[in-house]
Structure 1
Amino acid sequence: MRIARYNIRYTNDFWMCAMTFNRVVLAITGLLFLEQVHATAIPSPPTVSFDDSASTSIIGVTNFVVTGADMTGMSVDVAGVGINESTSWAATGVGTGGASGTGWSLTESNDTFGGKWELSIDLGANVLIQTITFDGLPGDIVFDMYHTDPFDDSFTAEGTPGSGAGLTYSDFGGTSYDVKFQNQLYVGANAAVGDIWGTMVIDFGDGINKGEITFYQDTDRIGVNVPEPGSIALLGGGLMMMGFMRRRRKMAESV
């Protein structure tokens, strides 16, 4: 009986030691995991804001399908340490366009509603880019946002007539920076809706000197819809018929 009691006691001691050892291992593993999480910075998305202190009237928005090739004339200003350049956006191919300068390049391919904008910076250029300012108006371009929250019951796809559904700035690359939209636009004497803007400023704070950033931002074109030739001919024919019928009525009344 004594031997049995000793065996039970030793067995219990063994399992208690084993459980204690396992807890220590789990605790150390947890601490190492937390340390790794703390050491690895979790990327945050860009901060997007809107400055409506200035506004501009435009004649209208005529085409909400805009590609990189359609934004010719938009001004692009790049500023920072060792760099201060102004250039214009130009078409580079079918549906593609871009701008470039000292150690940097910007491109956009296909419809801006979902098409990628790509910024590339060469480390060997020895420049530190802090801000990139896009002024769309010289190229008859506007930056189009979601009119309202698409997850809200009151969501309407189109804000300003003709603009279609917008796409607010987004970047899934993990780089933290600020994006501000300025110069709120409105059509004629109508009140601004808040979905189209003339200027986009990307602010990298202290600056970046290398790497690539991919982002998304919808654009539209400024203009008015011009009737097709067939519609004009049909309208002219209708006016001529109205004039002919009016003359016949006057002749009938004078008889």
Structure 2
Amino acid sequence: MADQFLAEQHKWTLFQNSQSDEADSWVMLTRDGEIVPIPGEKILHTSRPRVSLEVSTPRELQIAEPFSLRCDNGIAYITNERVIYLPARPSENFKSFFAPVLNFSDTHVQSSWMIGPWSWGGTVRPVTGGGIPMHIPRIDVKFVFRDGGHSDFQTKFEWLKERLHHAQELGLIPGQNLDPPPPYEPSTPGPLSSGASGGAPADAQAQQQPPQPAPDEPPPDYVEAQSQAITMQYEERMREEAERQ
């Protein structure tokens, strides 16, 4: 029971840290507008200012109620987990956008005009609870780099996506194993610490300690977290059904 409780508590902690109080976004921000990273997240690339964002429903879906979103000025980020966009001036209708790196497909750079700014984007599978209507299985996302920097963004994204795919193939946790391990250095055995049992190793003494009893009560807001998780699972099923139609 103790192991099960700790597992559920860990799951709740990750779930809580990946949520935002905003109904239209999972990107948590500080009072100063800085990104609050999810556990283990690191910012790998920050674009130049004056990046615009365009989100729209692909035409081939032929959805009765298409979705679209546009922001003319903001900054795009790449972390080891996701692509994030923060508008320069958040509004009640739009405060932020994000999608996991592996949810992007068919990414490319292009320019609409001979002397116009370059853009980068692709097709994205929306995140459950991320503000995109649940009946839309995929969306088109485009970042327009008005002050340049699209090539650096593309290079960093493709580098990251390749490593995330490789981590998946090896059964590793995506986003947590991007760097090679440090070189192996054999450790020299040190003196054993003596204890009350006449010089028994500290590890052996620790193993002899009785396990801590599990708490009698679940973590704070545990029931609410379970309810939200059920809602997320329902929305995910709705997206899958929309994709099959």
TM above 0.5, yes or no, is: no
Q: Structure 1 length normalisation: TM-score?
A: 0.22
Which of the pair has more CA radius of gyration? Answer: 1
Q: Structure 2 length normalisation: TM-score?
A: 0.23
Q: Which fold has the larger relative contact order, with Cα–Cα distance below 8 Å and residues 6 or more apart in sequence?
A: 1
Larger relative strand fraction: 1
